[in-house]
A and B are shown apart, each in its own frame.
Chain A
Amino acid sequence: MKIRFWGVRGSFAMTGRDFLRYGGNTTSVELVTDAGERLLIDLGTGATELAKQLMAAEFGGGKGKLPILLTHTHLDHIQGLPFFTPFFIKGNEIRILGANPTLGSSLEATLQNQLSPHYSPLNGLENLAAGVSIEAITAGEAIAVPGFEILTAAVPHGSMWTTAYRITADGKTVAYLSDVEYPSIDAPLESALALARDADLVIHDAMHADHDYELRRGWGHSPARAGVVVAEQAGAKKLALFHHSPDATDDMIDEVVARTAARSAVPVFAAAEGSYLEV
């Protein structure tokens, strides 16, 4: 299984020279099996870059199939939806899977609202030319997607819950824990540890540098250290710091990685926009 980070930034897309090495696009991560089956997690602005590549291949001719998992519908995770060009080609089949928002309303109503005529000229999901299915999932249950085995769990994110994923293909496992804050950094939730158990790669929310965390406790995001605790306790092989703060320049992320790695038994790197990596 290969992985490519198309967007690694949290909250807000960052442009300019200070964000070139890690990238400024908001979250979107692609997984591809050895047989070529594809899965996308989150539809941040990074998805617009993937869209160009997909359109140059089978999606341009209306022959593409793509399942997309959403962690939740905060804007930085769905901002790329109206500009994800495979939606505009008839024949493409795109599934969007995610839990209904915690405080009520449905996944479908939320995405419809994003495309309401006030906010978008698309004026509703029904005007997307591709075949689009919105599938509400229940966090905690397994999901069937061709080529991938997927387990899910609800994890706390401020006053709400997001969905975390454990994705296995070709004998390799990736755990995706973005937008999460545990009640205690030193005692991550059992549900999160279960998803990360013996994973080849754990992708973890690292919005805050450890020394910035105290002021931002309760905002729904983790300090870099939280991912280390999860990866170590779960016996994972590698940790990717993810969902970088919009205030974190390339140099600042370098520093966070160095400090975090110095206190981690598991190899650590910061997720960066770039090329396909073998898991």
Chain B
Amino acid sequence: MITDDDRATVESVINGNSEDFALLVGKYQLRIIQLCLKYTKNYHDAEEVAQESFIRAYRSLQNFRYDSKFYSWLHRIAVNCSLNYINSKEKTKEKETITENTGLNDTRASDDNPDDYYDLEELSKKMHKVFESLSSELRDIVVMSDIEGLSYEEISHKIDIPIGTVRSRLHRARDLMVKVIKENT
């Protein structure tokens, strides 16, 4: 069995607290939408497929056996949903070719209100400005931990400082960058 940060939340949902599923959606929404986007090549379709993936995951959560991490399981569901989307889109294209019905374009993008969305490009620029303003000590630790995925212990060995220092520096750097996100969301 694999240790999983999400285990408690998953168990809570299975035990009837369906509202807790929102925590899992909130945590993985960006990663799943980004994954679906690689297949759909279109944000609106990616959002639809991601939504379908979360709903499917919720419905089959009783079958989740903890033999992998919750995210790995969710990732597989999202890949399957994306492949189904591609298949159904190909079928629709075939039908459109037969009936020569090319006048129906996707109007969803033009109906959207920009206020309904977080502009992540803009947010990224603001956050990276803060990142660039950090001292090199803090920046290195952020890169090692949050980009390269090293553990506190590995960072501690690599740059020869105590684990406590790694933790406090990382905490300080993250606080500054998360503050920008909080202010803009």
Q: Do A and B come from one complex?
A: no
